[in-house]
Protein backbone atom coordinates (compact mmCIF):
# COMPACT_ATOMS: atom_id res chain seq x y z
CA UNK A 1 0.00 0.00 0.00
CA UNK A 2 1.31 3.47 -0.88
CA UNK A 3 1.19 6.15 1.78
CA UNK A 4 1.63 9.86 2.05
CA UNK A 5 3.90 10.58 5.00
CA UNK A 6 2.72 13.77 6.74
CA UNK A 7 4.82 15.68 9.27
CA UNK A 8 3.09 18.41 11.28
CA UNK A 9 5.23 21.00 13.04
CA UNK A 10 4.60 24.44 14.49
CA UNK A 11 6.22 27.52 12.99
CA UNK A 12 7.62 30.45 14.93
CA UNK A 13 4.44 32.32 14.00
CA UNK A 14 2.36 29.71 15.86
CA UNK A 15 0.80 28.24 12.71
CA UNK A 16 0.80 24.50 12.10
CA UNK A 17 2.92 23.50 9.13
CA UNK A 18 2.18 20.37 7.16
CA UNK A 19 4.91 18.77 5.11
CA UNK A 20 3.87 15.82 2.92
CA UNK A 21 6.27 13.24 1.50
CA UNK A 22 5.12 10.81 -1.19
CA UNK A 23 7.97 8.33 -0.61
CA UNK A 24 9.45 6.94 2.58
CA UNK A 25 12.94 7.64 1.21
CA UNK A 26 12.11 11.37 0.96
CA UNK A 27 10.94 11.35 4.57
CA UNK A 28 14.11 9.59 5.72
CA UNK A 29 16.32 12.13 3.95
CA UNK A 30 14.89 14.80 6.25
CA UNK A 31 14.34 12.83 9.49
CA UNK A 32 16.37 10.22 11.37
CA UNK A 33 14.79 6.79 11.78
CA UNK A 34 15.31 5.40 15.29
CA UNK A 35 13.19 2.28 14.97
CA UNK A 36 10.15 0.69 13.40
CA UNK A 37 6.60 0.56 14.73
CA UNK A 38 5.99 -2.86 16.25
CA UNK A 39 2.99 -2.27 18.49
CA UNK A 40 0.29 -0.56 16.42
CA UNK A 41 -3.16 -2.09 16.47
CA UNK A 42 -3.28 -1.47 12.73
CA UNK A 43 -1.37 -4.21 10.94
CA UNK A 44 -0.34 -2.03 7.98
CA UNK A 45 1.35 0.53 10.26
CA UNK A 46 3.64 -2.09 11.76
CA UNK A 47 7.12 -1.77 10.37
CA UNK A 48 6.70 1.90 9.47
CA UNK A 49 9.55 4.16 10.61
CA UNK A 50 9.68 5.71 14.07
CA UNK A 51 11.45 9.06 13.75
CA UNK A 52 13.68 10.94 16.17
CA UNK A 53 11.87 13.90 17.76
CA UNK A 54 8.45 13.03 16.30
CA UNK A 55 5.39 11.22 17.61
CA UNK A 56 3.92 8.69 15.23
CA UNK A 57 3.11 7.12 12.91
CA UNK A 58 -0.61 7.77 13.31
CA UNK A 59 -3.27 6.93 10.75
CA UNK A 60 -5.26 9.57 8.87
CA UNK A 61 -7.90 8.93 6.21
CA UNK A 62 -6.66 8.59 2.64
CA UNK A 63 -3.59 6.39 3.27
CA UNK A 64 -1.80 9.10 5.25
CA UNK A 65 0.69 8.30 7.99
CA UNK A 66 1.06 11.30 10.27
CA UNK A 67 3.93 12.35 12.49
CA UNK A 68 3.86 15.32 14.87
CA UNK A 69 6.33 17.16 17.02
CA UNK A 70 5.67 16.76 20.77
CA UNK A 71 4.56 20.42 20.88
CA UNK A 72 1.95 19.87 18.14
CA UNK A 73 0.77 16.61 19.74
CA UNK A 74 0.25 18.34 23.09
CA UNK A 75 -1.52 21.36 21.57
CA UNK A 76 -3.83 19.29 19.35
CA UNK A 77 -4.70 17.01 22.26
CA UNK A 78 -5.71 20.09 24.28
CA UNK A 79 -7.75 21.44 21.35
CA UNK A 80 -9.58 18.12 20.87
CA UNK A 81 -10.52 18.06 24.55
CA UNK A 82 -12.38 21.38 24.25
CA UNK A 83 -16.07 21.03 23.30
CA UNK A 84 -16.60 21.73 19.57
CA UNK A 85 -18.62 24.90 20.14
CA UNK A 86 -15.72 26.51 22.03
CA UNK A 87 -12.95 25.27 19.73
CA UNK A 88 -11.06 27.66 17.46
CA UNK A 89 -9.59 26.38 14.26
CA UNK A 90 -5.83 26.56 14.09
CA UNK A 91 -4.22 27.95 10.99
CA UNK A 92 -2.53 25.39 8.79
CA UNK A 93 0.25 25.93 6.31
CA UNK A 94 0.87 23.16 3.79
CA UNK A 95 4.35 22.65 2.38
CA UNK A 96 5.71 20.17 -0.12
CA UNK A 97 8.32 17.78 1.30
CA UNK A 98 10.18 17.23 -1.93
Most confidently modeled range among 28-37, 71-80, 84-93: 28-37
pTM of full prediction above 0.95: no
- Model confidence band, residue 91 (pLDDT cutoffs 50, 70, 90): low
Weakest-pLDDT range from 25-29, 65-69, 73-77? 73-77
> Which residue segment(s) compose the domain that 48 sits in?
4-96
pLDDT at 43: 77
- The residues, ordered by sequence, that sit 6+ positions from 12 with a Cβ below 8 Å of its Cβ are none
| Number of independent structural domains in the chain | 1
Here the contacts of 88-93 (C-beta below 8 Å, separation 24 or greater) are 90/15, 90/16, 91/14, 91/15, 91/16, 92/15, 92/16, 92/17, 92/18, 93/11, 93/15, 93/16, 93/17, 93/18
Amino acid sequence: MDYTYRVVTKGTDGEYRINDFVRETELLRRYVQIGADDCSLHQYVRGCPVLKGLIGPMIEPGNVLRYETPEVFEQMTKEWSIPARKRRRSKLRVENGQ
